[in-house]
Structure 1
Amino acid sequence: MYIGEILTHDDYQLTVEDTIGYALDRMNELHVHQLPVINQTELLGVIHEEDLLSAHNDNQSLSSLFVSLRFVYLFEDQHIFDALQYTSVHQLDLVPVLDKDKMYVGVVTLSELSKAINVTLGNDNSGAIIVLEVGKNDVAFSHVAHIVESENMRILNMSLRNIEESTKTEITIKVDKQNISALIASFWRFDYTVKATFNDGNQHSDIKDRYDILMNYLNL
């Protein structure tokens, strides 16, 4: 999913003629700590709440804080994962978005970004989550996918996380079924370590689920 698909075109922008007091009021209304400052369709930068609060006169225009503007932005054809990383690195509530001609077209907010990430990761679909632990040199997505498909299930999302100070890697898989007993048994047959399972809608504890699956597997 691209940033341009989740743009917010509402009145999030300020101009250099706006006062410091007005900018603070807008941030309070919008529940953000930064806002872009523009000149028609040109992005001049982003003003932060802390810079506004350090000013001595709320009636001054934002032009008096021009040197405090921070030039941060993303392009509308970038992926939403870029926005996720960018907001985290720069600690932003929103990011100004430019088109290919570097003209301001709107902002991407954390709220809209969270919704988009949720959809991209398949979290809006019911299913179960399995966390595998494998050696860093043993990661084989194609083999994992083959095992899942052999149990007539579909992968909604699969991600990788290297465990710090370890030779192990976590593979987190979300599948489209809630009953994953047979799938877990299949992973065990191929010597995968099933580190954790999270079965949507199941009220039993994860430990009990895995114990029951193990007993059934040993009785095969």
Structure 2
Amino acid sequence: MQAYEFINNLIPPLKTNDKAKMALSWMEEIRTNVLPVVKEGRFLGFVSDDLIYTRNSPELSIGDFELESPACFVYLDKHIYDVIKVASEYGINMVGVVDRDNQYLGVVTMEDAIGAFADTLSIQSRGAVLVLSMFMTDYSLFEIARIVETENAKILSSFISNDPLDDSKIKLTLKLDQTELRHIKATLERFGYRIIDHYQEEAGVSEEKDRIGNLLRFLDI
């Protein structure tokens, strides 16, 4: 799950002497609004269509623009989580990837990164989702897994986020291998855990829609 494994080779880098009109042509062709810029193998940042349209000079060279997000990159051996974190920090839909000598290797798009992230969360696996709220001091995945397993279920993946309703607490999202949650919920509540949401598979929902819906719920989108 390292960044270099998800480099998208269909996205070409621009050079500083390339013309703005060529950048717009490439963006239109590959359906993106931003492209990476390199010089002598070094990542310099990104140029966006908004930046080009604002200058309204298609004959300008890319080097004449003040490039965006020059620090929006990760090293090749960073985890895909780091790619998503950096993209979120800079509000951009792709992240540069460089080696340890800072030589440009390519970019990872957010679409590819989220797809990889979804795989790590077992989103494609059949099952249901539980969301618990608790203090961080009460969090023990070992203990929660033990309780879940007493109901003949297993935790396929887990995800921690801040509880937007209480800054002192966390939300723990669990993907389980069972679709029936009634007994599992009752057992967790008996042990004092507060369940604030749950998602069960519904009959008649297409597999693709179910995968997307579960992913958005995991990411709180």
Asked if Structure 1 and Structure 2 have the same fold, meaning a TM-score greater than 0.5 normalized by the shorter chain, the answer is yes
The two structures, once aligned, show a CA RMSD in angstroms of: 2.0
| Residues 135, 70 of structure 1: alpha-carbon distance in 2 compared, 3 angstrom cutoff | closer
Alignment of 1:118-157 (within 5 A): 118-157=118-157
Q: What is the CA–CA distance in structure 1 between the aligned matches of 2:67 and 2:161, rounded to whole Å?
A: 37
C-alpha distance in 2, partners of 1:54/1:97?
28
Alignment partners' CA distance in 1, 2:179 and 2:55? 56
1:175 matched residue in structure 2: 176
Q: 1:39 to 1:20 in 2, by over 3 A?
A: same
Percent sequence identity over matched residues?
Answer: 26
Structure 2 counterpart SS, 1:35: strand
| TM superposition score normalised by structure 1 | 0.82
Q: Distance in 2 between matches of 1:57 and 1:23?
A: 12
Report the counterpart of residue 54 of structure 1 in structure 2. Answer: 54
CA contact (8 A) 2:43 2:104 kept: yes
Deviation at 1:38, TM superposition (A): 1.7
TM-score, normalised via structure 2 length: 0.82
Partners of 1:107 and 1:127 in 2: how far apart? 33
2:67 corresponds in structure 1 to 68
**1:40 Cα deviation from its structure 2 partner:** 4.8
* Distance in 1 of aligned mates of 2:191 and 2:203: 26
Equivalent pair of 2:129/2:200 in contact (CA under 8 Å) = yes
Aligned equivalents of 1:4 and 1:116: distance in 2? 12
The superposition leaves residues 106-152 of structure 1 with CA deviations (integer Å, 9 ceiling, x where unpaired) of 11001101211111111111111111222343222211011122222
Aligned length: 202
Contact 2:11 2:30 in 1 (8 A): no
Q: Which residue of 2 aligns with 1:197?
A: 198
Contact 1:156 1:174 in 2 (8 A): yes
Matches within 5 A, 1:83-94: 83-94=83-94
User: Could you say which residue in structure 2 is the equivalent of 1:213?
Assistant: none
